[in-house]
């Protein structure tokens, strides 16, 4: 594997999950693999988990991670070709990606969508520009349309916690004060489509995800009905895809409550707004897997970096 930019880069999710479990059991077993190799982490957006877990993963492999907050600290990067750069951008991606490639053996990039220009967001112009102009492998740490490190993490967490051969997994929309990206929900959906699970998405009318992502996955507009017999309830807010990025929706009827989830395990990628997305009583209960999910971010990232290092 050269780059990891999508859940579609996973050839066999079950074998990846088994490999991740082995890394979790013995995190330093490949400490020599990344010796004298550098991982560059470039953040166009905020992060707690991705920033720390990906560095931890690199350290477990013996790599040296270096981190830059591109938006705050670097020169403004121009992504358009042929532009007269007499505005706010001072450096073109052609030079930026080539330069960083000289310092790093792998580059990881986080770049959220604008949620204004659907076509531009869906073109993944930031991530794809790095893939095009860097001379080293690229890892997505969440892009405009996907969060594949999170999706892999969530698949590992479900596999570790299921007591059934084919559990029922529900992805539920939940309210939020801001219009949020679709990336986490998209990658979770793609990961579940690769697993042997009974997978259902529930969201209000007008909030269906991109049909090219959901494909044949059932979509139910009645949350209570979708939650019936659920083993795992994965919750996330996302903005409208049809009325692109426009609608924030704070409808409290979609908030996750202890009564609604019953015995199901609760999952969320974090950060989560308490008592907006989900009640305290759910997050503070034994049913919540959110801290375990965050822990698994390290092993998902470690597996991805390992596979790339084995290939360079």
> Which residues in this chain contact ligand CP in the complex, by CB under 6 A?
47-51, 142, 150, 269-271
Q: With the C-alpha atoms ordered 181, 201, 141, 299, is the resulting torsion angle positive or negative?
A: positive
Q: Compute the chain's Rg from CA coordinates.
A: 19
Q: What is the DSSP string of 63-116?
A: -EEEEEEHHHHSPPEE-STT----SS--EEHHHHHHHHHHH-SEEEEE----SS
H or E stretch covering 139: strand 138-140
Q: Taking the complex as a whole, how short is the minimal distance between the CB of residue 260 and ligand CP, in angstroms?
A: 23
Select 45 or 193, whichever has its Cβ closest to ligand CP.
45
Residue 261 to residue 21: CA distance in whole angstroms: 27
Cis ω for the linkage preceding 271 (within 30 of 0): yes
Nearest to 278 by CA among 267, 262, 292, 286: 267
Rounded Cα gap, residues 139 and 55, in angstroms: 13
| Ramachandran angles phi, psi of 233, nearest 5° | -120, 110
CA distance to 8, 98, 209, per residue, from 43 (Å): 23, 17, 25
A 10 A CB-CB count for 86 gives 6
In the complex, minimum distance from the CB of residue 182 to ligand CP, in angstroms, rounded to a whole number: 14
């Amino acid at each position: 594997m050269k780059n990891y930019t999508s859940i579609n880069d996973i050839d066999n999710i079950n074998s990846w999950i088994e490999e991740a479990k082995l890394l979790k059991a013995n995190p330093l077993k490949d400490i020599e693999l990344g010796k004298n190799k550098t991982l560059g982490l470039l953040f166009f957006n905020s992060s707690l988990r991705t920033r720390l877990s990906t560095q931890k993963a690199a350290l477990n492999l013996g790599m040296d991670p270096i981190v830059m907050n591109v938006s705050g600290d670097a020169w403004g990067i121009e992504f358009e070709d042929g532009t007269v750069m007499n505005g706010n951008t001072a450096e073109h991606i052609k030079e930026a990606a080539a330069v960083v490639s000289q310092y790093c053996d792998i580059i990881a990039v986080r770049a959220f969508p604008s949620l204004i220009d659907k076509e531009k967001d869906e073109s993944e112009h930031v991530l794809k520009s790095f893939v095009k102009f860097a001379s080293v492998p690229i890892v997505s740490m969440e892009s405009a349309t996907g969060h594949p490190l999170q999706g892999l993490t969530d698949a590992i967490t479900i596999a570790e916690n299921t007591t059934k051969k084919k559990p029922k997994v529900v992805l539920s929309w939940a309210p939020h004060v801001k219009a949020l990206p679709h990336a986490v929900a998209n990658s979770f959906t793609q990961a579940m489509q690769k697993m042997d699970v009974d997978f259902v998405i529930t969201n209000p009318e007008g909030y269906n995800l991109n049909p090219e992502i959901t494909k044949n996955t059932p979509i139910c507009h009645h949350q209570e009905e979708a939650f019936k017999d659920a083993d795992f309830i994965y919750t996330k807010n996302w903005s409208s895809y049809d009325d692109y990025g426009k609608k924030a929706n704070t409808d409290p009827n979609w908030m996750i409550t202890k009564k609604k989830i019953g015995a199901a395990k609760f999952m969320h990628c974090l950060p989560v707004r308490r008592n907006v997305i989900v009640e305290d009583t759910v997050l503070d209960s034994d049913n919540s897997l959110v801290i375990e999910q965050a822990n698994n971010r390290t092993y998902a990232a470690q597996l991805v970096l390992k596979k790339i290092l084995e290939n360079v």
